[in-house]
Amino acid sequence: MAAGATFLPINQGGIVMRIGLFPAALVMAGLAWQANAEPASCESVGLLAKTVMEARQSGVAMQDVMQGANELTRQLLIAAYEQPPYVSAGAKQRAITNFQNDVYLECVKQQR
């Protein structure tokens, strides 16, 4: 867990994550990749979250990855780029894993 992370109760359609506030509506709104597409599985959403945070931690410019992104990807990018980039490989990997796990967990909870 990141130093200084705070857990606060939220009852306004959001959850608290180790990396900060993350709207629960994000996963709900983005479960369909396109309006008429099959809903994305939580595994797919988790892998997308991992890829997004890997880009963030690798120093990829946000504007480069926002082009052509669908709504779910855009929301994940915003959430990831609100987090600081880390220097050490271990800290980067923790940030990636935590982000992926938090997004996956919220997806699973919303599909109950």
Instruction: Residue 71: give the domain boundaries.
Output: 14-110
Q: With respect to residue 91, please indicate whether it lies within any of the assigned structural domains.
A: yes
- Residue pair 106/27 in contact (Cβ under 8 Å)? The answer is yes
Query: Can you read off the two tokens belonging to residue 22?
Result: 């993350």
d(CA 7, CA 48): 24
Q: With respect to residue 64, please indicate whether it lies within any of the assigned structural domains.
A: yes
Confidence (pLDDT) at 11: 27
Q: Output the pTM of the full model.
A: 0.68
Confidence (pLDDT) at 39: 57
Confidence (pLDDT) at 110: 84
Residues of the chain with pLDDT under 70: 1-40
Confidence (pLDDT) at 24: 42
Helices 42-57 and 71-81 pack at an angle, to 10 degrees, of: 40
Confidence (pLDDT) at 63: 93
Confidence (pLDDT) at 20: 40
Q: With respect to residue 8, please indicate whether it lies within any of the assigned structural domains.
A: no
Confidence (pLDDT) at 91: 97
- Residue pair 85/59 in contact (Cβ under 8 Å)? The answer is yes
| DSSP 8-state secondary structure symbol assigned to residue 24 | H
Q: With respect to residue 2, please indicate whether it lies within any of the assigned structural domains.
A: no
Neighbours of 100 (CB within 10 A): 20
Of the candidates 21, 5, 34, the one whose C-alpha atom is nearest the C-alpha of residue 106 is 21
Confidence (pLDDT) at 89: 97
- Residue pair 26/43 in contact (Cβ under 8 Å)? The answer is no
Domains held by the chain: number: 1
Confidence (pLDDT) at 52: 95
